[in-house]
Amino acid sequence: MAIAHEFKHARRAVALTGAGISAESGLGTFRGRDGLWSRYDPAVVASIESFNQNPRKFWEFARDIGWKFLEAKPNAAHIALVELEAMKHLHCVVTQNIDGLHQRAGNKSVIEIHGNIGRVNCTMCATTYAAENIVDSLVQQDVPTCQRCGGTLKPDVVLFGEEIPKKTLAEALKRVRSADVLLTVGTSLEVYRASSFPELAKENHAKVISINMERTRWDDFSDYQVHGSAADVLPRIVQAIRISF
Ligand code: APR
């Protein structure tokens, strides 16, 4: 398998993941026919403007969808990336996902460019809480407040209209720019900054491998495209690497 060969010879392979890798963990994707944004208007429920204007409405939405993220379990695709990392064929995972499933699966090097719904920050004193430690206030208060200063709490996720934290972005760009293989998995590559990563990797002469259920606009740009489920394709790549030695 040519893709297994690319990993076998990679010095710094980086995986860029999106919602599709967590689809088989029961977490829907954002775009496409049954995507979350076909049911909710992201500008109304997931923008920093809507949060500042009406945090009560924002928290209604966050409560509606948040539990599924906190209860989801890693699937075979997440496990395969852990195995690739353990075999020293994967240097780092850069994810757009806020579900924390890469870390829960066991990946050591994960950069969450859109944050993590399992953390909650105070918008006043910047205290960070683990969501699981303040469940009562998240459930009982229409607008959860900080136990230290009474400030409004906000999930540690990058909402539309918000910048990716500078340190996080710099780290992600550094990894993508120095990659010799960039594997994109389960992402439509429609959202900027991540949508620019394949091009950045290419500027470094990296091989771009795309695994996605549907075509993306980067398909013609990639060196390899596999249209299929991440939980099916990634374990097969790991297996092919194992038997190729
Ligand atoms: N295996 C592989 N790919 C899949 C699977 C699967 N089981 N199921 C769906 N996909 C693909 C879809 O074909 C789609 O192209 O995953 C892609 C998911 O694309 P999006 O829903 O656009 O999600 P993503 O690319 O992660 O979105 C980026 O947009 O809404 C914001 O902040 C949010 O991080 C998110 C960002």
pLDDT digits (tens, 9 = 90+) for 49-64: 999 999 999 999 999 8
* pTM for the full predicted model: 0.96
234 half-sphere exposure, CB direction, 13 A CA radius: 30
114 is catalytic: yes
Residue 241 CA to residue 245 CA, distance in Å, equals: 7
Q: How confident is the model at residue 193 (pLDDT cuts 50, 70, 90)?
A: very high
pLDDT band at 137 (very low <50, low <70, confident <90, very high): confident
**Ligand 1 center–CA 30 separation, angstroms:** 6
Nearest-atom number in ligand 1 for the CA of 37 is: 30
What is the best residue among 27, 162, 191, 237 to mutate for testing ligand 1's pocket, by most ligand atoms within 8 Å of CB? 191
Q: Which atom of ligand 1 is nearest to the CA of 230?
A: 1
* For the CA of 35, the nearest atom of ligand 1: 21
Average pLDDT over residues 35-55: 93
Residue 33 has pLDDT above 80, yes or no: no
Say if residue 245's pLDDT is above 70. no
Hey, which of 212, 217, 225 would you mutate to test ligand 1's pocket, going by the most ligand atoms within 8 Å of its Cβ?
212
Q: Measured between alpha carbons, how far is 98 from 19 in angstroms, rounded to an integer?
A: 9
Q: Which two tokens stand for residue 47?
A: 């923008």
Q: How far apart are CA 136 and CA 93, in angstroms?
A: 32
Q: How far is the CA of 161 from the centre of ligand 1 (A)?
A: 19
Mean pLDDT computed over every residue of the chain: 95
Please name the residue ranges forming H helices in 72-218: 76-86, 101-105, 135-140, 166-177, 197-203
Cis? peptide before 217, omega within 30° of 0: no
Q: Tell whether ligand 1 has an atom less than 6 A from the beta carbon of residue 188.
A: yes
pLDDT tens digit string along 143-174?
999 999 999 999 999 999 999 999 999 999 99
Q: Which amino acid is present at 194?
A: A
pLDDT at 139 exceeding the cut of 80: yes
Span of 39-43, 88-92, 96-100, 236-240 with lowest mean pLDDT = 39-43
Q: Does the Cβ of 24 fall within 6 Å of ligand 1?
A: yes
For residue 224, the cross-strand partners are 209
- Residue whose tokens read 């950045």: 200
